Chains A and B, each alone.
Chain A
Amino acid sequence: MRMTTFSEGSLPSAVFDRPTWAPLLELSAREVFDIMLGTKLRVLGSPTNVKDGEFTALVGLAGSLCGVLSIRCTNQAARVMAGKMLDMPPDEVDSDSWDALGEIANMIAGNFKGKLSGVGNHCMLSVPTIIVGTDYESRSITGGNLIEVIFDFEQRPLWVTLELHE
């Protein structure tokens, strides 16, 4: 797979490249779920109900990449993820599901920026933020630089979204 490269030295400003970055984002998520949860993600062919996700984890990116990576899923899906990470039944997972979702978002963001050669050294990640509920609006100020991949996670939708500033 082709790598997007930036020269070292002065702070590079990454140029949004959807055709290259979309498969890298997909690969980044697949690797995290495969390695940390032992789960193979499958890309959904068509969008599903956009309100069907009560848990959202956000990780900010600053530097040569500036924006937000988010993942969104249902409460039950978050419990299943945490259960797989901790090797315990989903019903026994409590607030760990929030923590797990944030950590997954963090790893996807880190994995993604690591695939953009030269960017990793100039891009920092925030600690994750978790939003619980669906009654909120998100207004992008990124100028439309958005990549969204919708996966099937154990028969439940999982949105992975990257929004970047110009």
Chain B
Amino acid sequence: MSQIRALIVDDSSVMRKIVERSLRQAGLDLSSVIEAGNGAEALGLLDSHQVDLILSDINMPVMDGLEFVRQIQTVEKLRGIPVVMITTEGSESNVVQALSLGAKGYIRKPFTPDQVKEHVLPVLGL
């Protein structure tokens, strides 16, 4: 499996660490992991970092995950990066909205490492 550069966006530092651990438990070979506390911070990081995968919460201060996905789709060099939402906001309307905005997958908290594996590997073509 090739090395993956991941961006994890969540206002909870604990959840960011759990997501990273779950990705490793899913068998991903992570060459780098960068973290952001909200969508605006994540967009700033993407100016200077290249990533292969983005995992993002929805409910965050400053810029939420839906707006973050919307912004990504407006930037040519970011548009192709697969985004998987990880959130407690698991309502059907949020799922539909996130996917229509360009997200490739959706994981609802609480989640198991197997669920992360099930939803993340396919969007990476693995």
The answer on a CB contact under 8 Å between B91 and A114 is yes
Q: Which of B1-20 contact A (CB under 8 A)?
A: 11-15, 17-18
Q: Is the interface of B mostly helix, strand, loop or mixed?
A: loop
Q: Which of A109-125 contact B (CB under 8 A)?
A: 109-111, 113-114, 120-121, 123-125
The answer on a CB contact under 8 Å between A35 and B13 is no
A123 vs B93: C-alpha distance when bound (angstroms): 11
Q: Which residues from B are CB-within-8-Å of A96? A: 13-14
The answer on a CB contact under 8 Å between A85 and B14 is yes
The answer on a CB contact under 8 Å between A125 and B14 is no
Asked if B80 is at the interface of the complex by the 8 Å CB criterion, the answer is no
Extra pairs beyond A32-B110, A121-B92, A127-B59 (16, CB < 8 Å): A35-B111, A35-B112, A36-B18, A85-B14, A86-B17, A87-B21, A96-B13, A99-B12, A100-B14, A103-B14, A107-B110, A109-B88, A110-B90, A110-B108, A114-B108, A125-B88
